[in-house]
Structure 1
Amino acid sequence: MTSEIQLQASSVELAKTLDSLSTSLSTYLGYLGLPTDSVLVELDERRKVINNMPYIMPALTEGQRNSAMYISKFSAACVVGLFDAALNYLWDETIRNLRLKVVQFDLDYFYDTAITDANQRSRFRDESDLEKLDDWVLVRGCRETGIISDIGYRHLDYIRDMRNHASAAHPNHNELTGLQLASWLETCIKEVLGKEPEGAAIEVKRLLRSVREEILSGTDVPPIAEAIVRLPEDLAHSLLRTAFGMYTDPRLDANIRNNIRFLAYEVWEVCSEDAKYDIGLRHGSFSANGEVSRANLARDFLTIVNGLAYLPGNTIAIEIISALDALLAAHNGWNNFYNEPPLARLLQSFVPASGNIPGNVSGKYVKILTMCHIGNCYGVSSGAEPIYSMLINRWQDSQISQFINLTRDSEIASRLQFPSCQTRCQRLASRLVDQATHPNVKLALEFIGNFPTEKLDRIGNSSRFQTILKTVKR
């Protein structure tokens, strides 16, 4: 309590000196002949951050505060009045902390989950490789492995978007407020810096440790199977990808591969059809790239889980997956409005006029097209948007049903925080009403189109909508 009172007293004293500090800085800039207008944030806005920080920082332990170098830089930037730089420092501290959590949790599990392209995955081996991973891949991977929660992911996705467009990460003229920065600091502390993985994520960590360190037998399977059944769908999918990735590594220890044989079927059974098709596509990728040993091990894995029916029928599915991965990376990266059009055209080249694509890639195809079409909080790539619309016009009832079910997807729900994404999603739903043929599909689309726009990110919680979804087959 005493330290909190001292912290609050220090912030009050600092606030009193801001006027003198700002005057001195402006005078110095003028002496150098540099601009002084709109360089530093107004004093009132700075005071809002400074006065709120004493109530936010106690959420971190003393040890966590001692290592939070970028939070010190964030605080200094707020005091000086450089809010765009402060946001950048806050994001840097968040990313640093997430990387540390990944290493402490399970690095291989994270890589197998976050990096879906088999060729790219081979380039990520140790802790140093985390720096090569795009921020959006890191954040999404932390959600899929349970290191952060769905709510935490949605908050961080919003902050990441603001950091990309309103911080000192690149030139901009966006104005940030003191309360915004204080709120984002609290969110990053609450969801990342001061929080450790819990619940189902810890179960996965224990299971992976047992697979790597113990020698399992048939009698060990039933209690483990009970734990696997309780896993959320996303974590079960992540565990399947990791088990498959480990099993197909020719360098894997024989005892570990044998442990996976005991548990593979149990994991496979609780996963969705999309997750199973994803494993089949990975076998096809190994074969297409001449990785004979890995392809043979992949077929062995599919045999163990009775999953040979999920093998891809032709190479076009692999080409579409590759094009989708490239498009999503561009969409979530820098200069996405400029980089998306050529990759959208590449994807278009693989989709016939009928719209028929292999069923094992349809779910991913619909999701990524939806994300690109509704855009981010700053809009949609104007050069790529006509291509997205053309491809969506080719959707049939099965793909429209997949779009409807995406309203419960955490990544899509995160996008639907933004008014522009909400509006575009509802317009798309209304447009698809005439395109759909099944009455239940039309009913679901009309419900989405008429749902309160500002609450669209929470439509999955509507009991009425959940009832309608039961009548819509994916």
Structure 2
Amino acid sequence: MNDIVVKENVNLPALPNRVLPAINELTAALGIPRNVLASQEEIEYAWRDLPRELREIPADLRGELVARMCVAVSTGLFDGAMNYIWNAAILQLRQKIRNFGLAVVAQIQQSDFEEKHLLELQDSRLLDLCLKLNIIDEDGFFFLDQCRDVRNNFSAAHPTMGTVNDREFTTFLNRCVRYALADSSSPRGVDIGAYISAVKGPRFNDHQCQIWIQRLTETHDAQRQMLVNMVHGVYCDPATAEPARLNALDICGGLSGNFTATIKSDLINSHSDYVAKGFEDKHTASLQFFEKLGLLGLLNESEQHVVFSRAIDRLWNAHNGMNNFYNEPPFAERLLEVSQQGAIPETIQDYFVQTVVSCRIGNGYGISNAAISYYNDMIRGFSPREVATLIRSAITRSTTIGRRVSNNGSCRRNLKSVLELIDAASIPSGVKADYDRLVK
């Protein structure tokens, strides 16, 4: 049974009669025009709209930063108010990641992830992580990422490019509240300890097996990915008892029809690690695992997959890192060399297309000019399936390509240059209409 969340109305006091005249007196005393600050009408409208947004914030989250935001609004300092509410949203997203479990995040990231790592995350990386953990959905990521740009360019956090009016501030506030602050609960995941204990326990009965399959089906993509990989490890461990191995097969068998490309990628990487490290017993068990689940065909290109995965990861990390325009070319050249040695494994094609095209169209600040020739060569070599992935991604807002194209004019112009690299005969009929619309 779901808890009923009762929203409390927030009754703000009327603006004191001395606040607005004081702003007039201040600007006159400084000898500056009154219109350099928000007008009386803008302040009054913003103050009027505040309670509607504040009531969506749970009482326990209406803290110091929300109070400071209200004070800033009362004096027309919308740039400061944006900074306060953005900081409140970021703090809440960090708390949701803590509640999700830093240890779980470390397993998903396959790297250390402690409190210091969370605090050091840039806002853009924090939003990426929240999307990956399903703490925010694609819509939330889209709008909060827009807010991040607005905050960086129009708030008191940095020298501003301009000013915002009351309506723009209220929209900014609404998005921070709706996608970060309105829900104080944290995503519900699977109890990892109970899950592993059950898998390693006595043989599942049908009801017990269905309960665990349902729990994994309903949890977050990121956690499901990790838990499937964990039971693959349980199955391949020579010390695992046969009932536990059968339990692992039952769970994965119930989910295998809905395995995502990312889950398959993780399983292939784990299998390849057994080969690389010379764990023959685990390698043999892993082959049996793939065979019993009907996934043996995935292993035909496993070595290629690992090579592609690492090459793409390194390029993407360089693209998102510091001085990316100078650091990208050697990684782009390396990926081009790998891609020319054979067909791109199907399990990595989407990631390959997303990465190459995202780097080629740029991030809004420009493109790595020295890497353009490498990207162009890879794009010219796209298979019809990869071309279709590119076109569908360009019209889908939830993809990196789609977000960049929809949010930035230079990325849209660069996309047209990308599409001109593709021979018209390579355009699949299923995306021809979308292709024609994009090139106009």
| Structure 1, 207-216 or 152-161: larger mean CA deviation | 207-216
Distance in 1 between the 2:271 and 2:316 partners? 22
Q: Percent identity?
A: 19
- Quote the residue 2:325 is aligned against: 340
* Structure 2 residue corresponding to 1:179, chosen from 156, 167, 181: 167
> Is the aligned partner of 1:90 residue 2:79?
no
Maintained 8 Å contact 2:144/2:176: yes
Which sections of structure 1, spanning at least 5 residues, go unmatched?
31-35, 116-120, 454-474
- Quote the residue 1:423 is aligned against: 412
Distance in 1 between the 2:232 and 2:36 partners? 55
* Structure 1 residue corresponding to 2:38, chosen from 28, 39, 42: 42
| Structure 1, 92-101 or 169-178: larger mean CA deviation | 169-178
TM-score using structure 1 length: 0.70
| Structure 1, 362-371 or 295-304: larger mean CA deviation | 295-304
Maintained 8 Å contact 1:166/1:174: yes
Distance in 2 between the 1:425 and 1:388 partners? 12
* Structure 1 residue corresponding to 2:66, chosen from 55, 60, 71: 71
Distance in 2 between the 1:57 and 1:132 partners? 29
Which sections of structure 2, spanning at least 5 residues, go unmatched?
1-5
Residues 1:315 and 1:206: Cα distance change in structure 2 (over 3 Å): closer
* 2:355 partner amino acid: I
> Is the aligned partner of 1:218 residue 2:221?
no
Maintained 8 Å contact 1:244/1:298: no
- The offset of 1:240, in angstroms, is 1.9
Residues 1:107 and 1:398: Cα distance change in structure 2 (over 3 Å): same
- The offset of 1:366, in angstroms, is 0.4
3-state SS in 1 of match to 2:388: helix
> Is the aligned partner of 1:18 residue 2:20?
yes
* Structure 1 residue corresponding to 2:134, chosen from 134, 142, 146: 146
* 1:103 partner amino acid: R
List aligned pairs for 1:68-467, cutoff 5 A: 68-113=63-108, 115=109, 121-124=110-113, 126-195=114-183, 202=188, 205-206=189-190, 208=192, 210-212=194-196, 214=198, 215=201, 217-219=203-205, 220-226=208-214, 228=216, 231=218, 235-236=220-221, 238-244=223-229, 262-284=250-272, 300=285, 303-306=288-291, 307=295, 309-311=297-299, 313=301, 317-318=305-306, 320-329=308-317, 331-332=319-320, 338-352=323-337, 354=340, 356=342, 358-359=344-345, 360-376=347-363, 378-381=364-367, 383=369, 384-385=371-372, 387-406=374-393, 407-408=395-396, 410-412=398-400, 413-418=402-407, 420=409, 423-424=412-413, 427=416, 430-431=419-420, 434-437=423-426, 441-450=428-437
Distance in 1 between the 2:123 and 2:229 partners? 25
3-state SS in 1 of match to 2:335: coil
* 1:55 partner amino acid: R
* 2:226 partner amino acid: R
Maintained 8 Å contact 1:70/1:93: yes
Maintained 8 Å contact 1:147/1:196: no
Distance in 1 between the 2:376 and 2:28 partners? 50
Maintained 8 Å contact 1:240/1:267: no
Distance in 1 between the 2:282 and 2:185 partners? 32
Residues 1:183 and 1:245: Cα distance change in structure 2 (over 3 Å): farther
Aligned-residue CA RMSD in angstroms? Answer: 4.4
Distance in 2 between the 1:350 and 1:46 partners? 54
- The offset of 1:153, in angstroms, is 1.9
* 1:61 partner amino acid: P
- The offset of 1:22, in angstroms, is 6.3
3-state SS in 1 of match to 2:136: coil
3-state SS in 2 of match to 1:146: coil
Counting matched residue pairs gives 417
3-state SS in 2 of match to 1:351: helix
3-state SS in 2 of match to 1:59: coil
Distance in 2 between the 1:83 and 1:180 partners? 9
Structure whose alpha-carbon radius of gyration is higher: 2
Residues 1:96 and 1:286: Cα distance change in structure 2 (over 3 Å): farther
Residues 1:164 and 1:248: Cα distance change in structure 2 (over 3 Å): farther
* 1:392 partner amino acid: I
- The offset of 1:216, in angstroms, is 6.6
Distance in 1 between the 2:70 and 2:319 partners? 32
Residues 1:342 and 1:382: Cα distance change in structure 2 (over 3 Å): closer
